[in-house]
Each structure stands twice: as structure tokens, then as C-alpha cells.
Amino acid sequence: MRIPGYQIERELGQGGMAIVYLALQESLNRHVALKIIKPVLTTDEEFAQRFTREGRLIAQLNDPHIVTVYDIGSHDNIYYLSMEYLPGGTLQQRIRQGLPLKDALSVGRAIASALQYAHSRNIIHRDIKPQNILFRENGSSVLTDFGIAKTLGGNTIMTRTGLSIGTPRYMSPEQIRGQTVDARADLYSLGVLFYEMLTGHVPYAAEDSFAVAMMHVTSPIPELPPDLARYQPLLNKLLEKDANQRFQSGHEFLAALEAVETSAGHPTLSQETLVPAVGAIAPPKRRLGRKSSLLLPAVALAGAVFGGGYLWLNRP
């Protein structure tokens, strides 16, 4: 495969939609991440449009915690996106290794800030997850993969009517129901991410995607371990089933997090590793109370989910 102006060196990873290569941009003699749509999808106009649209969306964004796009184009029916190469690995890898509390908070602040910036420009990500957060050499975290992003108020939503899109373990209840989503859906996903960074596992887990979806819609919010209880109110507000009761912006979450961090008697810059190894972790406790009134009959939920349907984009 040959893309004019680039020397492809090796594959970095791939998902359902594209393959990402490490490449040398010849004109500037710099390494880039070259994202190329899979050949089997180039005949699908919808996928090609989504791929092109991703580059144009990110190119509008200029934020230190959002990946930088350098170029986008096509050659011999090969669609490609040239972007900043992020050699520091993924957040998923760091969570598996064990994430110090200060690093979890730092990533939480960075992604909330990136979302605030994107949302202020009417762009929602819709697929916040550890695999889509990478790190630069200097350790700063970067939000990537806007492949299923949506422009608020726009007419170019790249999904079919009635289909939910995203990754099940991180999807908001309204995404699961196939309802219209806004920036608050990203904040819900940030809540799932925040919980996972603090504990090493997602708040809702089951053997199949439908069961996970049911839990997001009906299950109470799990409790954090006692030594992290001061973050429970933040988590509760991020993971509210009702979007109107959540944090309404990244700024709101950042202000609340700062208040917790500056509270007397609660040092938050500990180097303590929260999760020595992912796997041997006790199931989280579930908070009971008023959220239990949100439980819906399983049959009714099944009808809602299957009536809307799913389009899982399981990209790394």
C-alpha cells in the first residue's frame, strides 16, 4: 500500500472501521499516526463519509487534550487521516497496570476539559472509553477517535434512524434507548471512565452486551471503596440516569472536583496505586434508595432496546 507523501513503517492497531499505522510524513520528516479505512468498507459510502467527517470535525478543534489532525484525503480509493502520533500508550493499558490516584484525577480533569471545549463547539464525542484516550511522551492525556462524533443541531448524523451507537459498557441510558443525545451523554461516559480509573473495573459488567445495557438503564450506582468515598457524590452526579440531574457541563464537574480536592483533610495527590492488578476485584456494592425506583420491567426494557436496535462499533 502506498500513500503519496508518507512512508508506512508498521501497524499500530486496528478496529472495526480502520487500521492505524506509524508512518513518516516525508515533507516534514516527522512521525504521524496514519489512520486508513479498511478496504472492505471503502465501497460503503456511509463509512467513507464518516471517516472523512471525523477528520474535518477534529481539525476544527484546537485543544491540548484533543488529538491534532494534520491531513485528510484519499488515493486510489484508500481513505486516510494523518494525525499526531501518541507514543505513550492507552489509558486502558494504564488502568490494567494500576493507576495512581493523582494520575486518575489528572486524566479526569483533562478529559472533562477536552469535552467542555468540544461541547462548546457543538461537538459530542459519543464514544468515551479508555481505548480512545492516549498519552504523549510528556505524559499528557489526549482524547482521540471522533469517528462517531455528532454535531449538535447538524444534519450529518452518521447513524441510521433507531440505531444506538457507541460502546455498551460506556453508553448513557439515553444512548441505549436510542433517544436523542447531547453533551450530557459524554459526561455519563466520563462517569463510567472515572469509576473505572478509581477502581480498576467498570461499574456495570455482565456476560453479554444486552445485560450490560439493562444495567446502565436500571441498576443503582455502585459504591466506591471507603477510602475513595469522598468522590462518591461526583460519581453519583455523573452517572445519573436522568440527564437533567447530571452535571450539565465539563466545567461543572471540574468545579466540583476542585472542591473535593481542596476539602480539608482529604489529600488527593497520593502516589498510591489503586489497583495492583485487574482481575482479583470484589464486585462493587450497589447504592440502593431512590434510584431503585428507576428499575423498569425487563420485558419493557427489552422492547425499548430491540425496538431501537444497536450498532456496536467495537474499535480498540
Given 63, 103, 127, 186, which residue is catalytic? 127
What distance, in Å, lies between the first and last C-alpha atoms of the chain? 22
**Dist. CA 308–CA 104, nearest whole Å:** 34
Distance, CA of 78 to CA of 108 (rounded, Å): 36
Same domain, residue pair 59 and 125: no
- Tell me the CATH number at 24: 3.30.200.20
pLDDT tens digit string along 262-311? 884 555 444 455 554 555 444 555 554 444 444 444 434 444 443 443 33
Average confidence score pLDDT of the chain: 82
Q: Same domain, yes or no, for 96 and 179? A: yes
CA distance 24 to 8: 6
Answer yes or no: is 124 within a domain.
yes
Strand pairing class (310-312; 164-166): parallel
Count structural domains, the chain.
Answer: 2
Residues 19 and 100 in one domain: no
Residue appearing with cell numbers 457507541: 166
Residue positions counted in the chain: 316
**Are both 121 and 31 inside the same structural domain?**
no
pLDDT tens, residue by residue, 34-48: 999 888 877 777 777
285: containing domain: 91-312
- If DSSP states are collapsed to H, E and C, what string results for the chain? CCCCCEEEEEEEEECCCEEEEEEEECCCCEEEEEEEECHHHCCCHHHHHHHHHHHHHHHCCCCCCECCEEEEEEECCEEEEEEECCCCCEHHHHHHHCCEHHHHHHHHHHHHHHHHHHHHCCEECCCCCHHHEEECCCCCEEECCCCCCEECCCCCCCCCCCCEEECHHHCCHHHHCCCCCCHHHHHHHHHHHHHHHHHCCCCCCCCCHHHHHHHHHHCCCEECCHHHHHHHHHHHHHCCCCHHHCCCCHHHHHHHHHHHHCCCCCCCCCCCECCCCCCCCCCCEECCCHHHHHCCCHHHHHHHHHHHCEEECCCC
Whether 194 and 229 share a structural domain: yes
Contacts for 132 with CB less than 8 Å, ≥ 6 apart: 125, 143, 144, 145
Instruction: Mark whether 127 is an active-site residue.
Output: yes
pTM here is: 0.81
pLDDT tens digit string along 141-165? Answer: 999 987 666 655 444 334 433 334 5
pLDDT tens, residue by residue, 98-128:
999 999 999 999 999 999 999 999 899 989 9
Residue at 1 is within a domain? no
C-alpha distances (whole Å) from 259 to each of 47, 225, 234, 238 are 43, 20, 10, 15
